Amino acid sequence: MQFKVGCDLAYEAHERSLFVFNVQASETESQTVVEDSLTITPELPIESYRMPETGNRCIRFEAGPGPVTLRYRALVDHRPQRAHASDIGETPSERLPPSVLPFLYPSRYCEADRLRHMAATEFGWMDRGHDRVQGICNWIYRHLGYIAGASDAHTSALDSLIDRAGVCRDFAHLGISMCRALGIPARYASVYAWRLRPADFHAVFEAYLDGRWYLFDPTRQAAIEGLVRIGVGRDAAEVAFADFIGVVDPGDMDVFIEAVEPPDVYVPTIDAISISER
């Protein structure tokens, strides 16, 4: 399926500031950017680069003082790999490639080391593999309320567990933490999410199972097979869509995704969905 994705972001810089953005669709073996364009106003020199560990596509530039806007548009060919969830097991720890090992460790927002007992008690008895990670997502969906404004930039997975409320990034952080606590590599993914209402940047997570990264969305707010990846990292600290060094106020923001040829009737998939081996 092909998707048109994009965003319009506005800011007011009160001094000369450094802007860093990660809003461009990423390239994987199952996701191809057919065409895209990115425009900054006022016109400025822009440095484009890819993060070597993840392939995240980023730009940075200096601007201000004054208004700054970003406009991004892309056409993305999305061909996720599908598999029967019950056929996907866990990768034994001794067979995990070195590149995924950092996604086993605790990180700023994912205190996996403090959730090991709970994870073992709640999920240790489940069959290992995709079904167990889906069990984690089911638990999060049942026990946490999806409430706008329930968290902020400082909220961690443990905070969300205590508060029993959060938004997409909090649901993802808790899912990641539970997986890592069980010895399953897991990472945060920012995406353009088809059928998400209202449209916004969305957060999900990927778990490394049977040699691939599989997508999971504990919020159940979007179509899992319609997630166009922007970036991945250990947690939200590594995948912010915008970051600044300087005094910058955010303004209007518009995010969109639309299917080029949407199906006449949409039926949510029960397949396991993966768009990346790495």
CB 212 within 8 A of CB 30: no
Give residue for tokens 């001794």.
Answer: 94
Q: Is the peptide bond before 106 cis (omega within 30 degrees of 0)?
A: no
pLDDT digits (tens, 9 = 90+) for 87-120: 999 999 999 999 999 999 999 999 999 999 999 9
267, pLDDT greater than 80: no
264, pLDDT greater than 80: no
Residue 271's pLDDT is 86
Residue 170's pLDDT is 98
190, pLDDT greater than 90: yes
pLDDT mean over 53-64: 95
Do 88-239 and 2-79+244-259 have the same topology in CATH?
Answer: no
pLDDT mean over 248-262: 95
Q: What is the pTM of this model?
A: 0.96
Percent of the chain with pLDDT over 70: 100
CATH entry, 2-79+244-259, from 3.40.50.300, 2.60.40.2250, 3.30.950.10, 3.20.20.70: 2.60.40.2250
CB 80 within 8 A of CB 274: yes
pLDDT digits (tens, 9 = 90+) for 146-155: 999 999 999 9
- Domain definitions of the chain by residue range: 2-79+244-259, 88-239
Domain with residues 88-239, CATH architecture = Roll (3.10)
263, pLDDT greater than 90: no
DSSP bridge pairs for 238: none
pLDDT mean over 35-60: 96
Percent of the chain with pLDDT over 90: 94
pLDDT band at 38; cut points 50, 70, 90: very high
Give residue for tokens 């990034």.
Answer: 169
230, pLDDT greater than 80: yes
On average, the pLDDT of the chain sits at 96
